[in-house]
Copies of this chain bind each other. A is one copy, B any other.
Amino acid sequence: MLYQKGNMFSKACEYGIKSMIYIQSNHDDSRKICLNEIAEAINSPMAFTAKILQQLKRSGLLVSTIGAKGGFQIKNNKPITIKEIVLAIDGDGFFSKCVLGLKVCSSANPCPAHEAYKLIKENMIKDLLDLELDEFTKNIKNKTIALK
């Protein structure tokens, strides 16, 4: 093995996803959720996580309040999908690029993987990326998944 890759999403994106799941899971109108708590909860480097939260803010998924007792909240408490987070952090490469890095393929001139891969991608989006954060919340509460 030459390098250790094979991650569909960047580390930044994973932290983003986990942060959002954490924030959603711990939503409480009476308080904001602060960076420190988030980074601790998902076991991520704090300053790096800060950048990611800023990006999620810029993308309109989060809002924040500054100062003591400040922190982050999901904007308007709106349902958010994994896909929105991926787009905010990694951009649309995942959705637009050829997995194999090939060129000049289309439905008219398909590569052998074309039809199969199109379906795989559609399913991946439907069954994984279109999932909303709150679908993960109960699993966090059950402890059937963990963020760190």
B127 and A113 contact, CB distance less than 8 A: yes
Determine whether the beta carbon of B90 is less than 8 Å from that of A14: no
- Answer whether residue A12 sits at the interface, using C-beta atoms and an 8 A cutoff: yes
B113 & A3 in contact (Cβ 8 Å cutoff): no
Q: For A7, what are the chain B residues with a Cβ–Cβ distance below 8 Å?
A: 93, 97
A39 to chain B, nearest CB (A): 14
> How many chain copies does the complex carry?
2
Q: Which residues of B contact A131 (CB under 8 A)?
A: 112-113
A2 touching B101 in the complex, CB below 8 Å, given contacts A93-B7, A124-B120 = no
Measured CB to CB, the closest approach of chain B to A81, in angstroms, equals 12
Contact A6 B100 (CB under 8 A): no
- Evaluate contact between A100 and B117: CB separation under 8 angstroms: no
Question: Chain B residue with minimal CB distance to A96?
Answer: B6
Known A18-B101, A105-B144: A92·B6 in contact at CB below 8 Å = yes
- Find chain B residues with CB under 8 A from A4 CB: 90-91, 93
A128 at the interface (CB under 8 A from B): yes
A34 to B60, CA, bound (A): 51
A66 at the interface (CB under 8 A from B): no
Check B120 against A136 for contact (C-beta < 8 Å). no
Q: Is the CB of B6 within 8 A of A111?
A: no
Which A residues are closer than 8 A to B by beta carbons? 1-15, 17-18, 51-52, 55, 82, 86-95, 97, 99-105, 109-113, 116-117, 119-120, 123-124, 127-128, 131, 135-136, 139, 142-148
